[in-house]
Amino acid sequence: MTKTPEIVSVTIHADGACSGNPGPGGWAWEILGGDDALICEDAGGELDATNNKMELRACAEALTALLGLAKDGGAPVTSARLRLDSEHVVKGCGEWLPNWKASGWRTAARKPVANDTVWKRIDTLRLSLADKGVRLEFEWVKGHSGDGGNERVDSKAFEMSQSLRAGAAATSASPEISSPENGGGDLFRNGFEAAARAAMRFRPDLAQGFSEAEIIAILSAIHATQSDASQSNTTQSNTTQSNTAQSDTAS
């Protein structure tokens, strides 16, 4: 006798954060099964983002993972409750999205929908999940109110945004500020360490088994190469300007 697979109802927590708005942003999500057992989770980010975009990315990435679960041939997922602290995303998914789509992705004020690329992705995922028989429910939860799931994904999204911010600050600092003799060596070190920790914790697939020390060494070598190239270009530019000035004087 064939055993009927257990029907699964899951809960999804998703959140986004941004260090500056716009600025480096992070997103995170987790999918929980019965007894709040963790099924899967992920986190990521973008260097140039807004808080709303990261909230949307968190939702879209979670729905992508949910669709993967619905397709994997295991226990059928029949319903998913997405608990988000963004009223914008909850109302957009539950109320506004069909009207935006029918209006050519314009709001009631006839303005283009912001972050429409992510919204369109969410719409496609929503329809694909419906085809798989998965019912979605979007629920707003007050942020920083002690909700365990929301606090977890909020912390991960925030940490990702801070890691990206530190890495960006390190790689964009000028040689005069960042050189060890001028006291800036720690800026790069801290930024590279933050990026390495984020890669190992949230994206082990990208870390590819490298240790934290090895990732830091790789980032340092890349930065050194870029700095050398930048200084070489600056020297060549200064030489060209000097030669031009001498030529103008001679004529």
Catalytic residue flag (residue 36): no
Catalytic residue flag (residue 181): no
Catalytic residue flag (residue 15): yes
Catalytic residue flag (residue 72): no
> Choosing from 42, 46, 85, 159, which is the catalytic residue?
85
> Cis omega before residue 22 (within 30°)?
yes
> Choosing from 13, 15, 25, 167, which is the catalytic residue?
15
Catalytic residue flag (residue 42): no
What separation, in Å, do the N-terminal and C-terminal C-alpha atoms of the chain show? 99
> Choosing from 30, 42, 61, 154, which is the catalytic residue?
154
> Cis omega before residue 180 (within 30°)?
no
SS3 44: strand
- Inter-residue contact 15 to 150 (CB < 8 Å): yes
- Inter-residue contact 26 to 44 (CB < 8 Å): yes
- Between CA 218 and CA 199 the distance in angstroms is 13
> Choosing from 30, 42, 46, 55, which is the catalytic residue?
55
Catalytic residue flag (residue 248): no
> Choosing from 16, 26, 149, 191, which is the catalytic residue?
16
Cα angle 191, 197, 202 (rounded to 5 degrees) comes to: 125
| Beta-carbon count within 10 A of 154 CB | 22
Residue type, 102: A
> Choosing from 72, 73, 104, 144, which is the catalytic residue?
144
Question: Angle 185-202/148-172 helices, nearest 10 degrees?
Answer: 140
Which positions are catalytic? 15-16, 55, 85, 144, 154
